[in-house]
Chain A
Amino acid sequence: MSINQPANPGVDGRLGPDEPVKYKGPGPATGLDSPLRKAVYKLRRDRWGMLGLAIVIVYALIALGVVLGLWGQDWSSTAGPRWAGISAEHWLGTNLIGQDIFNRALYSTRTAFEIGLVVAILSTLLGALLGALSGFYAGTWIDEIILWKKGVLDAIPFYLFVAAVAFALEGNAWAMHIAMIATFWTITARLVRGEVIKLKNLEFVEAATAIGASRMVTLFRHILPNTLHILLVQGTIVFVSAIKSEVILSFLGLGVQEGTSWGLMISESTQEVLSGQFMNFIVASTMMFILVMAFNLFSDSLQDALDPKKVH
């Protein structure tokens, strides 16, 4: 679920109650033994998923090239003519202040990965931690407090929350990231909590406790690794949500503050399309669409591979 869904604003902008994904996770498997290998095998046979992954890797390489200074460095120069067409100098033309669209699109790939990775990793970790504690101490005050925090975040409209965080942080470049992390963890936590409650009653966990493993060791060494399949899938879903949310937030002036992004390019294009200038719009939205689509395909097949009982 992403912010791009105001028709269901109950989940507006957050990973709200989406598909009733049921992770009927693996048994007492720890680490990288056969269930995971089986999943990898299954994943590799999934043509659409592999296509998605290949595209994601190409994008990641583009982003890496920008970080390493190989390309996409001239994104801010306004030296070109305004709204130039396609030429050898400006492969995809220029925007309304003469910036090179091709370079901006490349640079934006880096921005997208930065936002996606930061938000996906941190919010998934936060969700895993809080969900695990909540599930492990289910029914105690620890659980209650975490559930309460989740409920409160669910009851505040997403973009109002982001706007509030942005203003509270007075234009901090990370305000958007922080706001997304602070809201996107809730669904991961819900899934992890359910799984942990199931896992902690299983034999191998009781056995670990019986041989004297401390509760924290049990939780982090024996239980949490078994929620890996949830975290991987959630990570990909949050990545997509983050880069989709960026577009809307950038349009509202709450998004990317430094550099450029597809969201900023599309926002710029709102002033161009009514004058018949479509290049900025087409390039940014196509670049973004392909990446999001590829990620969605990969995410779906990852879910299929990791969750043997998922309904198709």
Chain B
Amino acid sequence: METLQYTLRKLITGLPLLFGVTLISFALMVYFGPDLTYELVGKNPTQEQIERVQSELGYDQNFLVRYLDYVREIVTLDFGQSFSTGEPVADLLARTVPVSLALTLPGFILGNLLGILLAQIAAWNRSGWLDKLIMGGAVVGMSISFLVVIIAAQVIFSSSYGLNWFPVRGWSVYSLADYLYHVAVPTLALVFVSLGYNTRFYRAVFVEEMSRDHIRTARAYGTPPIPLMLRDVLKNSLIPIITRIMFSIPMIIVSGSLLIESYFGIPGVGKATFDAITTGDQPVLKAVVSLTAVLFVLVLIINDILYKWVDPRVSLK
């Protein structure tokens, strides 16, 4: 009950955020976005045809009217059809979002788990050689461009100049084996590129947590390293960890990984959205941007509820 009330209250406080996101996305992507008239009128249009299309697109209306229209379509979930392909936007999302999830989730999960593991090892050996090695590796990892990682992974694992184990690009997935075959190299690249950041972040959290009095108490009563790190330190560090992970989720779900999808030619939602921006495909943009924002607000709420779940001192007031 408390949680429900809290959720409702939080949803209302999320409204200004939704307002801001829709306003910015409308202004940038629609109002000042590409002019679609000539893409929609067909060849050799007459002046009348042009005017008809422009009025359909609302180009003859003022900013406010057009913005309200945009919001109305979002609120009524009336996203319509893609301008470029005619595909219903809902279908487009249903087709692309699962691909992006399947593509990025393994890398995301592994990147975080490995990051936590390495950070625990580093924090436990603070200032020792193992810590220095891990943290040095993290700085090196953080200094390599994602694009470079992708190219290197492709050359090493997928080209005839390297091991040639995996496909160069594409996503023709019909079975689990296909999936593993196609997801391996992107996952590797995603893990590599996020590991440095994750390890540094989590290590800082753990080191901070290990300086707390109650960790000193736990050690003074003979807690061995593994329970100490995995139970006492980790459970007390869950709030920053959850926050970091939760706030990544809207972006993964709705926008996927544009770079990976573009590079490997994978039909995910990131690529679809990017194409929508370049062609001014408003229905698609509207859907993606507003869904991201809504998810963002939901994440804010779920995050607070999770806080309460991991830390008994937190109350949802």
Contacts and interface: CB of A to CB of B under 8 A. Distances in A.
Given A8-B194, A155-B293, A312-B126, A17 B243 contact: yes
Interface residues of A, number: 58
Contacts, number: 208
Interface string B118-146: 00000000110000000000011011111
A69 interface: no
Tell me the dominant secondary structure on chain B's binding face. Answer: helix
Interface string A264-303: 0011011001101010010001001100110011001000
Nearest to A166: B277
Q: Most chain-A CB neighbours within 10 Å: which of B149, B250, B251?
A: B251
Interface stretch (B75-83, B154-162, B223-231, B308-316): B154-162
A152 B24 contact: yes
Contacts of B127: 312
B148 A266 contact: yes
A293 B143 contact: yes
Contacts of B112: 7-8
Interface in A117-176: 148-149, 151-152, 154-157, 159-161, 163-165, 167-168
B139 A300 contact: yes
Interface stretch (B4-12, B56-64, B257-265): B257-265
Q: Most chain-B CB neighbours within 10 Å: which of A7, A10, A152?
A: A7
Chain B: number of interface residues, binned into ranges: 35 or more
A1 interface: yes
A226 to B, nearest CB: 23
A111 B274 CA distance: 25
A56 to B, nearest CB: 13
Contacts of A164: 25, 28-29, 33, 277
Tell me the dominant secondary structure on chain A's binding face. Answer: helix
Contacts of A292: 142-145
Given A148-B17, A148-B20, A156-B292, A285 B145 contact: yes
Interface of A: 1, 3-12, 16-21, 148-149, 151-152, 154-157, 159-161, 163-165, 167-168, 244, 247-248, 251-252, 263, 266-267, 269-270, 273-274, 276, 278, 281, 285, 288-289, 292-293, 296-297, 300, 311-312
